[in-house]
Amino acid sequence: MADKTFKLNTGADIPAFGLGTWQGEPGKVKTAVSHALKSGYKLIDAAYCYGNEDEVGAGLADAFASGIKREDVFVMTKVWATYNTRIGLGLEKSLKALGLDYVDLYLIHWPLLLNPDGNDDRFPKKEDGSRDVIHSFDHREAWKEMEKLVETGKVKAIGVCNYSKRYLEELLPVAKIVPAINQLENHPWLPQTEIVDLCHEKGIHVVAYSPLGSTGSPLASAEPVVKLAEKKGVSPYTILLSHHVSRGHTVLAKSVNPDRIDANKNLVALEKDELKLLDDYSADIVAKKEWKRYVYPPFGVEFGFPDKS
Ligand SMILES: NC(=O)c1ccc[n+]([C@@H]2O[C@H](COP(=O)([O-])OP(=O)(O)OC[C@H]3O[C@@H](n4cnc5c(N)ncnc54)[C@H](OP(=O)(O)O)[C@@H]3O)[C@@H](O)[C@H]2O)c1
């Protein structure tokens, strides 16, 4: 299952499963990336904002030195919100840190602009301590800049992250290139069905992040996940990750622990009734509005997510 790939709307293949690098403890990310690639991972997810693209790059270099070929690894990274009016510069900085000539997929990390001339490269703040957001910015302008990158050959494809149905509906009528993916928080406590359905309809591949519930993997104790894990004789982590791949989505799991990196790639196929069990659980959570979103930076911007509206 971990070797499975899906087709992007560009015609390229994207692996079904990859390693996340957010909050990778400094000093551990190089080994995590290198270990993952040597043990069969084909997809690495990075971001300028994570502040560790250089370590990811060192891990990639280590893997390439061991004989793994660049063309056999799918690398995606993201332009941070302080660079959404300087996307070419954002890409150059990421390529340099990663030690690459191109990335397989370049993504808008969040559809807003943080002050490019503010008091910090990544997290500029106003005097009152709130995030220095330029509220007049139109996210569609960032996409126009992203589209220009494709012809440079430095990005094989472009996509978005954290796009709600509303934001996608604003973007698609003006997009010359339909985003290849929408990378979004997705797990049984945040199914985001309305966005997922729209992505399916428009040929935008869904990439799920925080599938374990992010830091500390809280979802591993969710009742139906535990039950299904017992039934199939696998761990709850395996169920949470396999859930996405069995639905045709790519999933990203972060770990800097070599044993967990190895364990996480052992995905299993979930049958229709098993998927239904998880879907029904999610539907119940949504009906009761008991959803949980783990990743929502305090930008003070309305992104159009029903659970945050
Ligand atoms: N586009 C975006 O805005 C966005 C936002 C969030 C995340 N992402 C991407 O998606 C990736 C995954 O999401 P995430 O990092 O938020 O969270 P996640 O993968 O859902 O969970 C990571 C947590 O689970 C632990 N873990 C991993 N495998 C485990 C296992 N087998 N057993 C027990 N614990 C395990 C990790 O600890 P250890 O490391 O100690 O194993 C870490 O605490 C990120 O790293 C990032 O690349 C993108």
pLDDT reported for residue 75: 98
| pLDDT at residue number 250 | 98
Sign of CA dihedral 65, 71, 74, 75: positive
Q: What is the pLDDT at residue 17?
A: 97
pLDDT at site 185: 98
- pLDDT above 90 (res 7): yes
pLDDT tens profile 26-84: 999 999 999 999 999 999 999 999 999 999 999 999 999 999 999 999 999 999 999 99
Atom number of ligand 1 nearest to Cα 219: 20
Tokens of 67: 């004989």
Write out residues with Cβ below 6 Å of ligand 1: 20-23, 45, 109, 161-162, 183, 209-217, 237, 252-257, 260, 263-264, 295
Any alpha helices (H) in 76-212, and if so which ranges? 87-98, 139-150, 165-171, 193-202
The CA 59 to ligand 1 mean position distance, Å, reads 18
Q: Does residue 221 register a pLDDT over 70?
A: yes
DSSP state of 218: G
Q: Residue range 149-154: average pLDDT?
A: 97
Ligand 1 atom at minimal distance to the Cα of residue 260: 31
CA of 253 to the centre of ligand 1 (A): 5
pLDDT digits (tens, 9 = 90+) for 167-203: 999 999 999 999 999 999 999 999 999 999 999 999 9
| Confidence grade of residue 3 (pLDDT, cut at 50, 70, 90) | confident
Q: What average pLDDT score do residues 158-172 get?
A: 98
On whether the 5-289 domain is CATH 3.40.30.10, my answer is: no
Q: Find all residues with CB under 8 Å of 280, minimum gap 6, and list them.
A: none
Average pLDDT for the chain: 97
Angle between helices 87-98 and 53-65 (to 10 degrees): 50
> To test the ligand 1 pocket, which listed residue (255, 256, 303) has its Cβ within 8 A of the most ligand atoms?
255
Q: Catalytic one among 48, 50, 167, 209?
A: 50
Using most ligand atoms within 8 A of CB, pick from 74, 164, 210 the residue to mutate for ligand 1: 210
Kindly report the pTM of this predicted structure: 0.98
Measured distance CA(252)–CA(74) in Å, rounded: 12
| Over residues 234-239, mean pLDDT | 98
Position 228 pLDDT exceeds 70? yes
Tell which atom from ligand 1 comes closest to the C-alpha of 214: 17
Q: Tokens 């009761």 — which residue?
A: 288
Is residue 2 predicted with pLDDT exceeding 70? Answer: no
What are the residue boundaries of the structural domains of the chain, listed by start?
Answer: 5-289
- Residue 21 Cα to ligand 1 midpoint, Å, equals 8
Strand boundaries in the chain, DSSP class E: 5-7, 13-15, 17-20, 43-45, 74-79, 105-108, 158-161, 181-185, 205-209, 250-254
More confident site: 1 or 294: 294
State yes or no: is 50 an active-site residue. yes
Average pLDDT, stretch 271-300?
Answer: 96
Alpha carbon distance 223, 238 (integer Å)? 14
Measure 255 CA to ligand 1 centroid, in angstroms: 6
Is the pLDDT score of 1 beyond 90? Answer: no
- pLDDT number for residue 309: 82
Closest CA to ligand 1's atom 27: 255
